[in-house]
């Protein structure tokens, strides 16, 4: 029997075990419920949690995608990339949120020897980004049925300390995530930065980002909202994504793959968060729709578990428009003003559908007044307030995006990204406003 201690906010709260057959269990070992929960789906209890909820939680803590996991397996000499327990044995000291996985014999070292900070030069950063393929995203064509095959985006995390980048070893927390973007989509990292900055200007809580170039390699640099930097050091905040919170495996993260719907997430937020967090999620859902962002699935929404037990909807992250790109599945442009299909039949979503339905409709440009009415009714929302929010965002998003693009002119440079994205966003916002006023 293999065992890892589960540490949350510096307290050992549970044990994760794996038997010889590979079956995993999570068992709380603390005498009383910890102030913060590991997961909404794993409330404190004395009996062990079996395989399904345990695996849904730990699968959400390790990188997705076979290529990324195989790289980890190679780096740490693991026999297989398919065993999340084995991966957590190697990388479990620095996960998303405040949870850590520690071998029992290493618990004492966790406090006495947390690890080191190793300085990283810009030249080293450039080489690392190049190894991840930062300069290889040269296509505006999506060659797969999904925006991200299981979220297999290469990334790495570093610590920023007094203006210098450091690699954090052992249990040292990182503060920023570097993403060169989806491997084969041109300027996807820049796309994400512009979209997040735009939504932040509209008043939504978003992860703070910058787009930076290191030599010939560009990346979006995301400040981790689950890390707090003070004069005393860097501290972890716990979080979980909506797949973990609903005990859903990452492979089911899309609604069309039987994953959580917007209605399910609203129901969950309403149960555990303040009422204003429901409104924030609804605003995020609308914003993703108006941007033509096809990848706003359950793993791209999260909850923060604060040390005092409060649970809050987390800042937004991983938002990028699909409009600049062409889907081979749709046989044409993702631009709704040009596409003749306006949607892709079946479960292959391509670029022309949102990840979550609004009143039963996911196709960009096809959500009408009746869909907003149905969504409000099904979700228990005030319909007038919902319509006012849709109107406000559709009226203001195009201009805010334009202003952000002007401010980011240096980062954008000669890229065709803006002329491929902005007209479609403007068209969708205009279409949405027109359909909002028509009773059909």
| Distance in angstroms (rounded) separating the CA atoms of residues 384 and 393 | 14
Q: Nearest Cα to 326, choosing from 361, 300, 292, 368?
A: 292
| Predicted local distance difference test score (pLDDT) of residue 33 | 95
Question: What's the whole-model pTM score?
Answer: 0.92
| Distance in angstroms (rounded) separating the CA atoms of residues 183 and 71 | 15
Buried b (16+ CB within 10 A) or exposed e, 180-212: bbbbbbbbbbbbbbbbbbbbbbbebbbbebebb
| Predicted local distance difference test score (pLDDT) of residue 82 | 81
Q: Which residues of the chain have pLDDT under 50?
A: 135-136, 144-151, 330-333, 335-348
The 3-state secondary structure of the chain, one letter per residue: CEEEEEEECCEEEEEEEECCCCCEEEEECCCCCCCCCCCCCCCCCCCCECHHHHHHHHHCCCCCCHHHHHHHHHHCCCCCCCCHHHHHHHHCCCCCCCEEEECHHHHHHHHHCCCCEEECCHHHHHHHHHHCCCCCCCCCEECCCCCCHHHCCCCEEEEEECCEEEEECCCCCCCEEEECCCCCCCCHHHHHHHHHHHHHHCCCCECCEEEEEECCEEEEEEECCCEEEECCEEEECEEEEHHHHCCCCHHHCCHHHCCCCHHHHHHHHHHHCCHHHHHHHHHHHHHHHHCCCCCCCHHHCEEEECCCCCEEECCECCCCCCCCCEECCCCEECCCCCCCCCCCCCCCCCCCEEEEEECCEEECCCCCHHHHHHHHHHHCCCHHHHHHHHHHHHHHHHHHHHHHHHHCHHHHCCCCHHHHHHHHHHHHHHHHHHHHCCCC
333 by Cβ neighbours in 10 Å (0-12 / 13-18 / 19+) ranks as buried
Cβ 133 vs Cβ 188: under 8 Å: no
What 3-7 contacts at long range (C-beta under 8 Å, 24+ apart), as own/partner pairs, is: 3/103, 3/104, 4/85, 4/88, 4/89, 4/92, 4/101, 4/102, 4/103, 4/104, 5/101, 5/102, 5/103, 5/104, 5/107, 6/38, 6/99, 6/100, 6/101, 7/99, 7/100, 7/101, 7/102, 7/110
Q: Does 1.10.1070 match the CATH number of domain 227-438?
A: yes
pLDDT digits (tens, 9 = 90+) for 255-299: 999 999 999 999 999 999 999 999 999 999 999 999 999 999 999
Q: Nearest Cα to 150, choosing from 275, 4, 298?
A: 298
Compute φ and ψ for 311, nearest 5 degrees. -120, 125
- Residues contacting 105, CB < 8 A, separation 6+: none
| Predicted local distance difference test score (pLDDT) of residue 398 | 98
| Distance in angstroms (rounded) separating the CA atoms of residues 131 and 148 | 19
| Predicted local distance difference test score (pLDDT) of residue 134 | 53
Domain ranges of the chain: 2-112, 117-223, 227-438
| Distance in angstroms (rounded) separating the CA atoms of residues 137 and 143 | 12
| Predicted local distance difference test score (pLDDT) of residue 44 | 97
| Distance in angstroms (rounded) separating the CA atoms of residues 13 and 126 | 40
| Predicted local distance difference test score (pLDDT) of residue 153 | 59
């Amino acid at each position: 029997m293999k065992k890892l201690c589960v540490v949350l906010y510096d307290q050992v709260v549970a044990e994760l075990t794996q038997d010889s057959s590979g079956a995993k269990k999570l068992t709380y070992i603390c005498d009383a419920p910890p102030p913060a929960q590991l997961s909404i789906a794993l409330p404190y209890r004395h009996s062990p949690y079996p395989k399904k909820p345990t695996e849904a939680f730990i699968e959400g803590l390790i990188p997705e995608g076979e290529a990324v996991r195989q790289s980890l397996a190679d780096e740490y000499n693991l026999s297989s990339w398919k065993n999340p327990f084995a991966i957590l044995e190697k990388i479990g000291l620095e996960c998303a949120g405040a949870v850590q996985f520690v071998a029992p014999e290493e618990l004492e070292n966790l406090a006495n020897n947390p690890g080191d900070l190793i300085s990283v030069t810009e030249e080293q950063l450039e080489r690392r980004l190049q190894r991840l393929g930062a300069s290889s995203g040269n296509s505006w064509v999506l060659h797969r049925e999904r925006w991200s095959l299981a979220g297999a985006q290469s990334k790495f995390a570093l610590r920023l300390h007094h203006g210098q980048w450091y690699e954090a070893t052992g249990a040292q927390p990182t503060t920023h995530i570097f993403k060169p973007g989806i491997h084969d989509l041109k300027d996807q990292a820049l796309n994400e930065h512009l979209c997040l900055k735009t939504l932040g200007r509209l008043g939504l809580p978003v992860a703070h980002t910058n787009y930076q170039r290191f030599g010939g390699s560009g990346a979006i640099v995301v400040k981790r909202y689950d890390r707090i930097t003070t004069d005393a050091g860097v501290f972890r905040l716990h979080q979980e994504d909506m797949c973990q919170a609903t005990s859903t495996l990452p492979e089911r993260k899309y609604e069309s793959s039987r994953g959580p719907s917007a209605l399910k997430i609203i129901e969950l937020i309403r149960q555990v968060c303040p009422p204003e967090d429901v409104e924030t999620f609804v605003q995020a859902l609308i914003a993703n729709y108006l941007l033509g962002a096809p990848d706003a699935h359950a793993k791209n929404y999260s909850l923060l578990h604060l040390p005092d037990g409060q649970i809050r909807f987390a800042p937004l992250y991983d938002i990028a428009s699909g409009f600049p790109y062409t889907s081979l599945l749709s046989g044409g442009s993702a631009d709704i003003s040009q596409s003749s299909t306006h949607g892709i039949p079946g479960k292959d979503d391509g670029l022309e559908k949102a990840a979550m339905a609004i009143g039963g409709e996911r196709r960009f440009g096809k959500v009408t007044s009746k869909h907003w009415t149905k969504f409000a009714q099904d979700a228990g929302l005030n319909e007038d307030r919902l319509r006012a929010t849709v109107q406000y965002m559709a009226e203001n998003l195009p201009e805010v995006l334009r202003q952000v693009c002007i401010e980011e002119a240096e980062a954008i440079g000669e890229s065709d990204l803006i002329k491929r994205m902005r007209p479609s966003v403007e068209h969708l916002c205009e279409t949405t406003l027109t359909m909002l006023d028509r009773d059909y």
